[in-house]
């Protein structure tokens, strides 16, 4: 099997939170445009969250780090909590544990239990999400035992299962996993997102309850009756 080329930036959910992993070989310009590409379509799904910046063997100077930090914060509302790197030739960083106001973690302390199906977690919300409420599960899947009302939003790194009516916004595979699905006992969403794909609700008003599942097929979100 042929190896896919390594993406310039990757978003992944880890046990210690979400990480933006950067290809150590890429230039600053490449990193910047890759971040913008990766983040389009995420909307404000991730706004208000903290994340770790994983630089691998890459060494960035203070100025570059501040630039990335501001880019993530101002455009996507993300706050960089920690910088993770395993560069040997940057002793200053690990000594001070502080770069551009962000604590740094040496590569040795990396926690490599990354989000894989074997250790994915599922979060249960046991009530209806009402307008203005947003719930996230960036370590795995989300199950709502209730409705997701218009104006409410549910975001998961994996699948979104609504055992009720989904009338608000749901985002599955929010960190990029386009094989994630959205399932609802009554699927009447304002908007569905899976990975980087978005679809709006059809204009027609349905009266009948329909149990449906949404997934990505050929670069588009399709909705099928579930039976």
- 133 sits near another protein (criterion: CB under 8 A): yes
HSE-up of 165 (CA within 13 Å, CB side)?
10
Name which position in 8, 149, 177, 180 contacts another protein (CB under 8 A).
149
Tokens linked to 210 = 């329909």
- The 3-state DSSP class for residue 67 equals helix
Sign of CA dihedral 10, 183, 127, 141: negative
Q: Which stretch binds another protein (CB under 8 A): 55-63, 110-118, 143-151, 210-218?
A: 143-151
| Least distance between another protein and beta carbon 132 (Å) | 5
> How is 11-51 classified by DSSP, letter by letter?
EEEETTEEEEEE-TTS-HHHHHHHHHHHHTT-TTTTTT-EE
* Site pattern 33..72 for another protein (x: CB under 8 A): ----------------------------------------
- 132 sits near another protein (criterion: CB under 8 A): yes
Q: Which stretch binds another protein (CB under 8 A): 55-63, 67-75, 147-155, 176-184?
A: 147-155
- 130 sits near another protein (criterion: CB under 8 A): yes
CB nearer to another protein: give 101 or 132: 132
- 211 sits near another protein (criterion: CB under 8 A): no
* Site pattern 164..203 for another protein (x: CB under 8 A): -x-x------------------------------------
* Binding-residue total with another protein (CB under 8 A): 11
Alpha-carbon Rg for the chain, nearest whole angstrom, is: 19
**Long-range contact list for 117-120, CB < 8 A, 24+ apart?**
120/157, 120/158
- The 3-state DSSP class for residue 68 equals helix
């Amino acid at each position: 099997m042929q190896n896919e080329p390594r993406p310039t930036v990757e978003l992944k959910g880890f046990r210690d939170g979400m990480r933006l992993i950067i290809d150590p070989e890429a230039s600053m310009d490449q990193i910047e445009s890759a971040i913008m590409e990766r983040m389009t379509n995420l909307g404000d799904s991730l706004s208000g969250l903290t994340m770790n910046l994983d630089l691998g063997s890459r060494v960035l100077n203070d100025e570059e780090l501040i630039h990335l930090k501001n880019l993530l914060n101002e455009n996507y509302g993300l706050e960089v909590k920690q910088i993770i790197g395993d560069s040997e030739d940057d002793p200053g960083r690990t000594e001070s544990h502080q770069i551009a106001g962000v604590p740094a973690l040496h590569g040795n302390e990396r926690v490599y239990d990354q989000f894989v199906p074997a250790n994915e977690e599922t979060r249960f919300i046991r009530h209806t999400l009402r307008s203005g409420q947003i719930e996230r599960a960036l370590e795995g899947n989300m199950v709502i035992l209730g409705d997701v009302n218009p104006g409410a939003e549910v975001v998961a790194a994996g699948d979104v299962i609504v055992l009720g009516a989904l009338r608000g916004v749901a985002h599955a595979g929010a960190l990029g996993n386009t094989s994630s699905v959205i399932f609802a006992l009554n699927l009447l969403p304002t908007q569905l997102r899976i990975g980087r794909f978005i679809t709006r609700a059809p204009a027609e008003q349905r009266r009948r309850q329909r149990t449906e599942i949404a997934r990505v097929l050929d670069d588009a979100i399709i909705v099928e009756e579930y039976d």
